[in-house]
Chains A and B, each alone.
Chain A
Amino acid sequence: MFHKIVLPVDLTHADKLGKALGLAAELATRYGAEVCYVGVTANTPGAVARNPKDYSDRLAAFAAEQGHERGINTTSRTIVSHDPSVDTDRHLIEAVKDLGADLVVMATHLPNAGDYIWAGHGASVAAHVGASVFLVRD
């Protein structure tokens, strides 16, 4: 049913992804799909990595670790953004299309009043990609 699952990852808050990671792995095992972990980073040094190359290495290591732990095929993709606070949604949408994913599993916060002004990443992605989207509440 699914071949390629995209799972957007914020490496800074990877600890909050437990549910989504588990779910993606289960679906991947069930359908023999591959999981691609997608991370968006700024070109400036951040909390997780000192430069984009470093970020990309860490994300690849994260993907490898997940693949090993859960026995699934994993890949990773790093997107370097000029202004991640604003452009993350756009980058994720492009990545989902570009990777040819047919399912997006995505951790997202509970809806709140702020969503009327700034929709969460999950909502924006769901609104703009052709793939199925599974939003996982934390």
Chain B
Amino acid sequence: MQTGGPFFLWRHLNKLRWAFLSIVFAMLVALPFLHLYQTYVSAHAYDLLAESEQRLYDVVETLTDPFVDDPVEDLDAIKGNTWSGTFWGLQLSDPLAAAGQSAAGRTLYWPFLLTALIPVVLSMVFGRFYCGWVCPATFLYELNSNFAGWLRWAGLKPGNRTFDKRLKYGVLVLGLVLSAASGSILVATIYPPAIIGREIYYAVALGGFGGGAVFFIGTLLFDLMVARRGFCRYLCPGGALYSLLGRYRVVRIRRIVETCNDCAKCNAICEFGLDPLRDGFGQECNNCTACMAICPTAALTFTLRITDYPEQGPGHLGRQYRREYAQQDMEAAE
């Protein structure tokens, strides 16, 4: 089955992922501005605006004019954030929102649960893809990780502790139990993408950040000073839910042992502290494809399997394999 290596575009998926993350984040910033714009258009209050605001609205009108008939109504096509939003009439919600709301209300409200169906199915196929490709907090957390890299380059020591990755399942279960006990959806208050979505809205449209922004800055500091990507790895309840949904995900990353040279760059780049070098992807992998992008011998590819490959041993281009198995290979060839 061995062919000429992975499809050549797959090592560029990481760039596409950054484009996705940037677009999602830019939309979260743009939507509240669109909302302000709609307000003034519908109130016919354009003349009352300051000149700078009028200029901003002229730009928005010019940009949106080819796409909409009625700026008051048609700009409603995309509303909300990644926690729950409408996308041309299609309502999508985070599975954690559905879980938290069902726990807090102790009821199953099907019209809402169905809005989480598409994300759930996608997670069962692609695992934690939401964490790598959509989550607006990931955008900031990865920039924070890069910042930690600069700090390391400058001689400072960002925190590099490790904890048990199962801690986040505890956070998820405790959050649902506490939500059911208190009757308010507590998982929403500590879930970074939900925080980002609404805090940007509060800041732009309602004149000020809320308490969630403080919590989010706390998680950034936690990542910087205690553990690399610590919140996503060890604490995020949404990440725990996505990991559970992706327990038997179909699309996985696989190491091609024949072209691997044991350089361990994949282990160093992995934001989630996984072990691609020894075929340890598991349910935690968020398909960020950073390991594919950095692999010097293109030894990582996608595969369709519901479990990881069992450990395949040292890479065939690596020093260890050459030393230990060259003799056996020769014998097998004879």
Question: Do these two chains interact?
Answer: no
